C-alpha cells in the first residue's frame, strides 16, 4: 500500500476551529444560546450510542466485531470510537486536533494526530475497517478525496460512515437528498463496483462501503499509480502514449495494465465533477491534490 500524499496538517485547507475543545465546552455550557457554528457539528455529543443497536447494525452489514482492527478518522470527541471499542473492536483513534488525540490516549486507545489524508502506510496496512462519525471533509474535494477513499477501500471491510438522523435531515434540507453519503460513493460503484449498504435504527445511520478482494487489488494498484505520477511529475503534466510507455517500463508493468489503471482513475475523477461543470472542463483532465494531469490514452 502507498503512503499519504500530504504530510502535515497545515497543508490541509478545512476549518478546525468549530471542533476545538474550547468551542465544544462553550456549546455544552449553553446549548440554547450557542450559535457560533451549525449545531450538527456537535451531534456526536448528543447521540446515545446504544451498544446493542450498534452491534445489530454491524451484524446486518456483515462487519465482524471481535478483534476487527478499526481505525477511526476524524474521531473528534470520541463517543463513537469508545462505543466500537466497548463492543470488542481494536481501535486506533486519529484526529487532526491533538487535544482529542490526547483524550483518546487517556481513555486507553492507541491515538495519533492525523487528518484522514495523512494516515500513513503502516496504519493503512494493519486496518481492517476505517470508521467515522460524521467526518465529511475527506470526501468533499475530489482532488484529495479520491486517493484517500481508494486507500481506505483497500482495507478488508472498507469504510463505515455513521450519521445521526438529525444531521442527515439537516443536510438534506439544506442541499437536497443527493447530498447523502451513498450518492457520494456512486462514482466508486460505477468504476469499481463497490457495495453501498445502509442500515439504520432510531437516531443512528450506518453506511458501509466495501469491495471484493479482486477489486481491492485493482484499487491498490491504482493507488500506486496515483502516488507515482504525483511524485514523478511537475505541477502540470501531459501524459501522452509515449510518456505512458516510458512510465510503464519504469514501474515494471505492461503499458496495457497502466492504461487500464489510468482510465479507471480518470473515469472516477470525471464522475466526481459536478455535472454542470463537466462541459467546461477537459475530459482528459485529472487533478490530484495540487497537481493537474492531462492524460491521452
193: left (phi over 0), alpha (psi -120 to 50) or beta: left
CA dihedral (42, 45, 46, 49) positive or negative: positive
Please state the rounded mean pLDDT for residues 142-158: 96
- Which one is predicted more confidently, 182 or 184? 184
Question: Mean pLDDT over residues 132-152, rounded?
Answer: 94
The proportion of the chain whose per-residue pLDDT surpasses 90, expressed as a percent, equals 77
Report whether pLDDT(278) > 90: no
Least Cα distance to 183 among 73, 74, 281, 271 occurs for 271
pLDDT at 274 over 90: no
pLDDT for the residue numbered 284: 93
What is the structure's pLDDT at 273?
Answer: 84
How far is the C-alpha of 140 from the C-alpha of 52, rounded, in Å? 32
The pLDDT value recorded for residue 7 is 53
Distance between CA 207 and CA 186 in Å, rounded?
13
* The pLDDT of residue 119: 96
pLDDT score for 258: 95
Note the pLDDT of residue 9: 47
pLDDT (0 to 100) of residue 229: 93
Q: Considering the entire predicted model, what is its pTM?
A: 0.94
| Out of 22-31, 61-70, 235-244, least confident range | 235-244
pLDDT at 291: 92
Mean pLDDT, all residues of the chain:
92
**pLDDT tens-place string over residues 23-35:** 999 999 999 999 9
Using a pLDDT cut of 70, give the percent of the chain over it.
95
Question: Band of the pLDDT at 277, cuts 50, 70, 90?
Answer: confident
pLDDT tens digits, residue range 210-238? 999 999 999 999 999 999 999 988 888 99
**In the chain, what are the domain boundaries?**
9-212, 215-295
Domain 9-212 - what CATH class? Answer: alpha beta
Q: pLDDT for 158-177, tens place per residue? A: 999 999 988 888 887 777 66
Dist CA 105 CA 107 (whole Å): 5
Q: For residue 266, what pLDDT is reported?
A: 96
pLDDT at 12: 60
The pLDDT value given to residue 14 = 67
What pLDDT, on a 0 to 100 scale, did the predictor assign at position 97? 96
Amino acid at each position: 500500500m502507498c503512503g499519504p500524499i500530504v504530510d502535515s496538517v497545515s497543508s490541509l485547507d478545512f476549518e478546525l476551529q468549530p471542533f476545538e475543545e474550547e468551542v465544544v465546552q462553550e456549546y455544552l455550557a449553553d446549548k440554547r444560546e450557542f450559535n457560533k457554528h451549525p449545531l450538527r457539528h456537535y451531534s456526536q455529543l448528543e447521540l446515545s450510542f446504544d451498544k446493542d443497536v450498534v452491534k445489530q447494525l454491524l451484524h446486518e452489514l456483515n462487519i465482524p466485531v471481535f478483534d476487527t482492527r478499526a481505525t477511526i478518522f476524524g474521531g473528534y470527541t470520541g463517543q463513537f470510537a469508545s462505543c466500537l471499542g466497548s463492543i470488542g473492536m481494536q481501535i486506533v483513534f486519529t484526529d487532526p486536533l491533538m487535544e482529542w488525540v490526547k483524550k483518546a490516549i487517556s481513555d486507553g486507545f492507541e491515538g495519533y494526530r492525523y487528518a484522514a489524508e495523512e494516515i500513513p502506510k503502516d496504519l493503512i496496512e494493519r486496518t481492517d475497517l476505517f470508521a467515522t462519525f460524521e467526518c465529511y471533509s475527506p470526501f468533499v474535494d475530489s482532488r484529495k478525496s479520491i486517493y484517500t477513499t481508494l486507500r481506505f477501500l483497500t482495507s478488508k471491510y472498507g469504510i463505515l460512515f455513521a450519521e445521526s438522523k438529525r444531521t442527515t435531515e439537516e443536510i438534506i434540507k439544506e442541499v437536497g437528498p443527493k447530498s447523502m453519503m451513498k450518492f457520494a460513493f456512486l462514482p466508486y460503484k460505477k468504476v469499481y463496483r463497490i457495495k453501498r449498504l445502509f442500515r439504520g435504527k432510531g437516531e443512528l445511520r450506518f453506511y458501509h462501503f466495501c469491495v471484493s478482494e479482486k477489486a481491492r487489488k485493482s484499487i491498490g494498484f491504482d493507488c500506486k499509480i496515483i502516488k507515482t505520477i504525483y511524485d514523478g511529475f511537475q505541477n502540470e503534466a501531459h501524459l501522452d502514449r509515449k510518456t505512458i510507455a516510458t512510465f510503464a517500463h519504469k514501474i515494471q508493468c505492461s503499458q496495457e495494465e497502466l492504461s487500464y489503471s489510468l482510465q479507471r482513475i480518470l473515469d472516477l475523477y470525471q464522475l466526481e465533477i459536478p455535472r454542470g461543470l463537466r462541459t467546461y472542463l477537459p475530459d482528459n483532465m485529472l487533478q490530484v491534490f495540487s497537481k493537474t494531469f492531462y492524460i491521452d490514452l
